[in-house]
Amino acid sequence: MLMLLFFCYCAVVIIGTGLLAVTLRNPVHSVLMVLILFFHMAMLYLSLGAEFLAAVQIIVYAGAILVLYLFVLFLVSLKDEVRLPRFVSSAWLGRLIAGGLAACLLYILPVFTTGARGNWPADRVREITPTRALATEMYSASVLPFEIAGLILLVAVIGGLLLARRDKEER
Amino acid sequence: MHVLVLLVQILVLFAVVMLHVAYATYFERKIIGHMQVRMGPMRVGWHGLLQPIADGIKSFFKEDIIPEQADRPIFLAAPIICLVAMLTSLAVLPFAPGWVLADINIGLIFILAMSSLSSYGVILAGWASNSKYTFLGGLRSMAQVISYEIAMGLSLVGVMMLSGTLNLSRIVEAQGPSFTGMYLFPQIIAFFVFCVAMLAETNRVPFDLPEAETELVSGYATEYSGMRYAMFFMAEYIGMMVMSAIGTVCFLGGWNGPFTVPGVPFFWFVLKIYIFLFVFIWIRATLPRYRYDQLMELGWKLLIPLALANIALTGIARAIFG
Amino acid sequence: MFVKYKPKRNLLQTILHTEILQGMALTLRRLFSRPITRQYPDEEIPVAAGFRGQHALVRDPETGGSRCIACMRCATVCPSRCIHIRFHEDGGGRVVDSYDIEALRCVYCGYCEEVCPVNALVLTEIFEYAAYGREPFHFSREDLLANWDRFVTERNIDPDTYVNPFWRPRGMPRERLPAGKRLEVPADWTLEGQVVGAGYREGSD
């Protein structure tokens, strides 16, 4: 009962702050709504028993990525609302596409059935801590995707370095 | 019933920590005064002992000024975010065997998460005050905090590798009761990185440029008055205590000591925190301030490579010596 | 000019932070030394003899008033023009009607007490005379005489034998001084380092 109430609260807050984040005028307020959203997502992860993921969500997403969003917002001072050309020509076509996407998402929702599945059922994860389970899985079975993700991030870092270097040369 | 006991424990911890924060400010003034061959507060109460109470009453009664163009909701929320995030980290600290409010399995990274949240309060305060000084102070502080957060997290990875767990009580138990079991000795590089990162995370000298009085007129907290300013102040001191507590848990052996003091099981933990706080104050009385680019250079070019080297060395040593 | 630079730090000093530790050792030593603060309201501050503080007119023991003869020397010599004297002639002598000192204009140079031929004015050693507002600092003759009474009681002065060191102008021989000014020079007031005027003659004190 308590868990159901908790889930409902988190869900309502997530949807509410998500809507507020895209509709508020002040961009800093939108970013703060996203912060609240991330916090409640971390709480959802906690209720599912993925504690490491919750902590990492706050450290990485809320603590680092969102801060860099804030930096960009602060340092690029937007005087007026930026008007961009529309991506899709008519508004109603856009709403149709969005509605169709929502329908597809709702259609595949029954696929999520509860119960034990795969190598890591919930009680096995809880036995050795979720951190250890995640680490074992990531560094033994999925070590290749892990290394590829690391290389992709390295490309991003080198790209950033190159951009900064070029600015200095131009000066 | 269990909830009631928990509530009482929370209240007791809160009261004790607030008292410590108040008297930490008193001892800082006294110790820095004596290091500068003068006395600190002497008039209020015997040798100034009631000075923090006088300061508290003063903060309470000051007029609450909110700048006209300030972003009101964010202005009001910023000190609260700072203080709440720092106070939440107190819940996972193990003061004695079994004396933890919340014995969670991710204690260490929980504290890292809370410290990243508290730095949000700083930058929001800087932005919401709608003033040049505060904005610069907030930006600088935020950049400094996220840079040194990486170094701090990396320095703690060595401890995680040696102890095999993120649970703070088990890290203390893994160090054992003996003096040579402390992770200070095998992880001396990590301890150095952690100490420097600790100073930078809590915006203390020599890394206190964001709140330097001569540079930025109290930085991000310039437009705050009365109780809100006191909240920032409290958040800083609670941050100092939490970081000292993590330092003692991870490197100095937590609640272990040469002999157990009867009736006071948290004696050694609190003593080690006091030693850390004394070193904080000692460094404040001694060192000048880093310039901002020197600060960033130190964080990125010195501390992160050192911490990474420490992780590599620890891994190799563990692989060889099992 | 040969400038000696400090030798650059070697690697060991950088790693062990020798200079920072030396600084911290100094601070720690100072932590245990005696503070040099003098806690003012509880402890008295020693003032040197002749300290130029609050103005006062010396009470003449016979008449009970001031010794002032309205020669106007103090008003003339004051660089801030803060002394205002009014007098009238009365049968050969001068009678002082009003004697005002605006202490807020005063720069406490001490010229007035040096130049007075009858040693009527003195800058006492009292420095605790703060007030709220400007009125209390316009000393009239009665205020100045009351200041003298306060000086006598606070510092335990014998009013008959009191001699302020500044009453004796330095650098002039005794014969050239007026009669009231030919006082003994205090033993600790030697001429080394003192600024003397154009009238200084070798051998005078």
Chains C, A in contact, 3 or more Cβ pairs below 8 Å: no
User: Do residues B45 and B111 both lie within one domain?
Assistant: no
Cα separation of B201 and B199, whole Å?
6
Last residue of a domain, one of B18, B45, B61: B61
pLDDT of residue C205 exceeding 70, the answer is no
Of B50, C180, B300, B103, the C-alpha closest to A161 is: B300
**Which value does ipTM take for this structure?**
0.86
Locate the chain B residue with the closest alpha carbon to A58: B113
Residues of chain B contacting residue A29, judged by C-beta atoms under 8 Å apart: 73-74
User: Do residues B160 and B226 both lie within one domain?
Assistant: yes
Which residues make beta-bridge pairs with C86?
C98
Nearest to C31 among B35, B39, B42 (CB): B35
SS (H, E, C) C110-169: CHHHHHCCCCCEEECCCCCCCCCCCHHHEECHHHHHHHHHHHHHHHCCCCCCCCCHHHCC
Cβ atoms < 10 Å from Cβ of B170: 16
Locate the chain C residue with the closest alpha carbon to B189: C15
CB contact under 8 A, C37 and B39: yes
For residue A24 the two structure tokens come to: 């508020």
Number of independent structural domains in chain B: 2
For residue B99, what are the CA distances in angstroms to B9, B90, B263? 10, 12, 13
Length of chain A in terms of residues written: 171
Last residue of a domain, one of B38, B61, B84: B61
The pLDDT, as a whole number, for residue B223 is 75
The CATH number of the structural domain formed by C55-181 is: 3.30.70.3270
CA dihedral sign of residues B73, B74, B79, B84:
positive
Domain residues for B288? 63-321
Residues of chain C contacting residue B36, judged by C-beta atoms under 8 Å apart: 30
> Does B288 touch chain C if contact means CB atoms closer than 8 Å?
no
User: Do residues B51 and B87 both lie within one domain?
Assistant: no
The pLDDT, as a whole number, for residue C139 is 94
pLDDT of residue C128 exceeding 70, the answer is yes
Residue of B69, B82, B103, B105 best to disrupt the A interface, most CBs of A under 10 A: B105
Cα separation of B227 and B225, whole Å?
6
CA distance B221 to chain C (A): 29
* Residues B220 and B118 sit within 8 Å (Cβ to Cβ): no
Cα separation of B299 and B312, whole Å?
19
Cα separation of B165 and A60, whole Å?
20
Locate the chain B residue with the closest alpha carbon to A57: B113
Q: pLDDT for C73-95, tens place per residue?
A: 999 999 999 999 999 998 888 99
Burial class, B158, CB count within 10 angstroms (exposed 0-12 / middle 13-18 / buried 19+):
buried
* Residues B246 and B111 sit within 8 Å (Cβ to Cβ): yes
Residues of chain B contacting residue C24, judged by C-beta atoms under 8 Å apart: 282-283, 286
pLDDT < 70: residue spans in chain A: 78-82, 167-171
- Give the position of tokens 């200070």: B184
CB contact under 8 A, B37 and C24: no
Question: In the structure, how many helices (H) and strands (E) does chain B have?
Answer: 12, 0
The pLDDT, as a whole number, for residue C48 is 81
The pLDDT, as a whole number, for residue A71 is 86
Cα separation of B241 and B90, whole Å?
9
Q: In one letter, which amino acid is A130? A: P
CA distance C201 to chain B (A): 47
Of B90, B237, B107, B120, the C-alpha closest to B171 is: B107
User: Do residues B153 and B296 both lie within one domain?
Assistant: yes
- DSSP letters, chain C, are ----PPPPP-HHHHHHTHHHHHHHHHHHHHHTSPP----TTTSPPP--TT---SEEEPBPTTTSSB------HHHHH-TT--EEEEEEEETTEEEEEEEEEETTT-----HHHHH-TT--EEE-S------SSSGGGEE-HHHHHHHHHHHHHHHT--TTT---GGGS-SSS-GGGS-GGG-PPPPTT--STT----TT--TT--
> Does B149 touch chain A if contact means CB atoms closer than 8 Å?
yes
For chain C, what are the domain ranges?
55-181
For residue B179 the two structure tokens come to: 């003096």
- Give the position of tokens 């000591």: B257
Of B225, B232, B218, the C-alpha closest to B66 is: B225
User: Do residues B18 and B156 both lie within one domain?
Assistant: no
CA distance C136 to chain B (A): 29
In this prediction, residue C32 has a pLDDT band, given cuts at 50, 70 and 90, of: very high
The CATH number of the structural domain formed by A1-77 is: 1.20.120.1200
Nearest to A58 among B113, B124, B135 (CB): B113
User: Do residues B209 and B235 both lie within one domain?
Assistant: yes
CA distance A95 to chain B (A): 33
Residues of chain B contacting residue A74, judged by C-beta atoms under 8 Å apart: 127, 135, 139
> Does B287 touch chain C if contact means CB atoms closer than 8 Å?
yes
User: Do residues B27 and B139 both lie within one domain?
Assistant: no
pLDDT of residue C169 exceeding 60, the answer is yes
For chain A, what are the domain ranges?
1-77, 122-171
The pLDDT, as a whole number, for residue A80 is 58
Half-sphere exposure of A109 (CA within 13 A, CB side): 7
Which chains does A contact via 3+ CB–CB distances below 8 A?
A: B
CA distance B281 to chain A (A): 28
pLDDT < 70: residue spans in chain B: 212-218
The pLDDT, as a whole number, for residue A27 is 85
Cα separation of B94 and B130, whole Å?
41
CB contact under 8 A, C36 and B37: yes
> Does B67 touch chain C if contact means CB atoms closer than 8 Å?
no
Residue of A32, A33, A45 best to disrupt the B interface, most CBs of B under 10 A: A32
Cα separation of B198 and B236, whole Å?
12
